[in-house]
Chains A and B, each alone.
Chain A
């Protein structure tokens, strides 16, 4: 009698049955097939029904409207835009405005949120209470209300353009926005920019070198003179050789408004402020929770190793806290992006306002436009969430976890 292990019985069919049917076997497989067929039929039925009804009422359908002329103006466009451009261009203008307000809002909310969150943990009684009051007031008031507060109660009370608050004739603040001198690029702009790029490259290389020296040999290299020289010195030398890369054109009051200069419209300021201040209150609580989740012993261990308080926080506590902070932080970023669609209340031309609003009511093609808009918000959210997951994975790797 052979003692050697018996070859395992063929596993293919049982495995397939388990994968497809779970515990219920082939009956389950059949059930799932029926379910899939049902869902497909349901989807088809919904689309066909909508299409039949729209045809019966002779409502225009299809995506042909995207190439038609929009014929309306937009107050803020990051790319050149005029009334004679197409609805596609309106879509891009709106999308860029949404992305702009989201990106700046996320950055601001993160900074404010971390500051408030750390402040609430501070041993300083006053600071902790102030941070606590901020959180409790801001997160308990509706966002739309806060948005209108910033727009109508704060920014609208600024003086009119003729009585602008001004700083040396270069910077103006009025109820039409914040106007600053506009930088105008000269011939030497690109060489200087290139020099700056090279400087950044050198600085990164120096940083990597210093890190390697520290980790391999335990030597501490002093790299700041190199970094300073490459970041400031190199562009400066090029600028001195070729002439100034930029000059500034001061805005001039002409008729109703300022002509020339860069203008940040109050709608944008109100929306960004409201979104970031509101979201920051939630981020502050997330940060506080994350830091409290790290065992006190970690802080004590850090100080018993002789690390300074800041270094302990930076090297030991925060990396561990980040693992707790990141998933809910992602939620807040997504919320902020989606909440930016409140822009329409203050007349900021975001995607929802110009595309799912004006374009929709001009063309009447609600189904197509809502589908596109939903798809875009979904895509933005998925990309944000993927980026945050990637960052979380990196943080996890750094801690030796997978």
Chain B
């Protein structure tokens, strides 16, 4: 191609000469410019277009790569974990910006098992409405965001629930000044709820099955919902009971509000992963089980090093001094040691974040171990 300086040829172009005016910025067919200039303009545009298209194709095709989450996480050097936008006790940043909470500990435990470092987690705050899309699209590796396990979420969303780290139920928060003592007295009330939750559907079911009328006002984020409740827009705020206790702490006068005794649903909350990567599913599932089993075997953050020297065959198996159970998962032999050293066992995490040792002060209740009257039961590590 002949080298032509575009600046010297543009004046020959009819547009530049002013003999042709451009209808809507388009060069009219038949308008003739300098022959060499046409070549330049065309070549330039076409080349740029082609590059852009190739880049786009490359981008879309590479999306279909297989699901190797463990490898991706290791290569990245950190775990990407979807959490709430700030629910004290479950997942909330403290005054130094460190995320803490029961749900956060699950992610920290996974990171500890992989990297032996519970801080190698990137937390992604998500609204209830956006959480599943973020997991489906691969933006996060694990969703640990007080998410209720239901059959439709487990099947049609393309997700797998890995277990239950908190057994919850839905309740109502009301002003004490309303003098309401039971959820059955809420006929005709306005109720605030966060959209995209099971709470929204349970609410509809509860009022319908009890032949009560209600007005629902649904907000996208928990903060907006609580703000509307506090401003008096709603008579009641409904959510999982643990969340009600947690949100009540954020109100101006927490003692003016009470949680009604009725629990209207089952809300088993747990971590979630994508379909299609069984190894990753196993890792997240057994990390949670390991925390629960560690509590059952009384392995704590403090005594884990001394427990390594024990003769108890079960503890030896769990802590990896006997057998290679961790390697079967794609991790190391000492994976449970790493988890317990990093975040502690399930009971320690519970006490620290939501239990008596925390601001929330929720009793263990259903979440006690199975041999202590609760329903937390993990399959054995062997």
Q: Is B377 an interface residue (CB 8 A)?
A: no
Q: How far is the CB of A356 from chain B (nearest CB, A)?
A: 9
Q: Is B133 an interface residue (CB 8 A)?
A: yes
CA distance A24 to B31 in the complex (A): 11
Q: Are B132 and A347 in contact (CB under 8 A)?
A: no
Contact with B along A244-283 (1 / 0, CB 8 A): 0000000000111101000001110000000000000000
The 5 closest A-B pairs by CB, nearest first: A59-B158, A361-B196, A156-B231, A60-B156, A364-B157
Q: Are A362 and B61 in contact (CB under 8 A)?
A: no
Contacts of B31 in A (CB 8 A): 23
Known: A23-B32, A255-B187, A366-B133. 11 other contacts (CB 8 A): A42-B56, A45-B57, A56-B67, A56-B276, A58-B155, A156-B232, A254-B188, A256-B190, A361-B130, A364-B133, A364-B158
Sort chain B's interface into a size bin. 35 or more
- 21 A-B pairs whose Cβ atoms sit less than 8 Å apart in the complex: A23-B27, A24-B38, A24-B42, A53-B63, A56-B275, A58-B275, A59-B157, A72-B201, A73-B214, A152-B227, A156-B231, A255-B188, A256-B186, A256-B190, A257-B215, A347-B192, A347-B219, A360-B196, A361-B131, A364-B153, A364-B156
Q: Are B129 and A31 in contact (CB under 8 A)?
A: no
Contact with B along A357-398 (1 / 0, CB 8 A): 110111111100000000000000000000000000000000
Contact with B along A320-339 (1 / 0, CB 8 A): 00000000000000000000
Contacts of A83 in B (CB 8 A): 204-205, 208
**Chain A residue nearest in CB terms to B63:** A49
Q: Are B232 and A175 in contact (CB under 8 A)?
A: yes
Q: Are A357 and B275 in contact (CB under 8 A)?
A: no
Q: Is A288 an interface residue (CB 8 A)?
A: no
Q: Is B217 an interface residue (CB 8 A)?
A: yes
Q: Is A176 an interface residue (CB 8 A)?
A: yes
Most central of B27, B33, B132, B192 by chain A CB within 10 Å: B132
Q: A-side interface residues toward B, CB under 8 Å?
A: 18-19, 22-24, 31, 38, 42, 45-46, 49, 52-54, 56-60, 71-75, 83-84, 152, 156-157, 160, 175-176, 254-257, 259, 265-267, 344-347, 349, 353, 357-358, 360-366
Q: Are A361 and B29 in contact (CB under 8 A)?
A: no
Q: Are B29 and A58 in contact (CB under 8 A)?
A: no
Q: Are B190 and A42 in contact (CB under 8 A)?
A: no
Q: Is B71 an interface residue (CB 8 A)?
A: no
Q: Is B274 an interface residue (CB 8 A)?
A: yes
Q: Are A75 and B217 in contact (CB under 8 A)?
A: yes
CA distance A183 to B42 in the complex (A): 68
Most central of A23, A156, A256, A349 by chain B CB within 10 Å: A256
Q: How far is the CB of A175 from chain B (nearest CB, A)?
A: 5
Q: How far is the CB of B26 from chain A (nearest CB, A)?
A: 9
Q: Is B117 an interface residue (CB 8 A)?
A: no
**Chain B residue nearest in CB terms to A54:** B158
Contacts of B153 in A (CB 8 A): 364
CA distance A366 to B131 in the complex (A): 12
Q: Are B203 and A31 in contact (CB under 8 A)?
A: no
Q: Is B136 an interface residue (CB 8 A)?
A: yes
CA distance A254 to B187 in the complex (A): 10
Contacts of B227 in A (CB 8 A): 152
CA distance A89 to B201 in the complex (A): 16
Contact with A along B145-180 (1 / 0, CB 8 A): 000000011011110000000000000000000100
Q: Are B274 and A57 in contact (CB under 8 A)?
A: yes
Q: Are A255 and B275 in contact (CB under 8 A)?
A: no
CA distance A345 to B194 in the complex (A): 11
Q: How far is the CB of B259 from chain A (nearest CB, A)?
A: 18
Q: Are A358 and B232 in contact (CB under 8 A)?
A: no
Q: Are B64 and A357 in contact (CB under 8 A)?
A: no
With A176-B190, A357-B129 as contacts: A344 and B53 at CB distance below 8 Å = no
Contacts of A345 in B (CB 8 A): 219-220, 224
Contacts of B200 in A (CB 8 A): 72-73, 358
Q: Are B32 and A349 in contact (CB under 8 A)?
A: no
Contacts of B216 in A (CB 8 A): 72-75
Q: Are A364 and B233 in contact (CB under 8 A)?
A: no
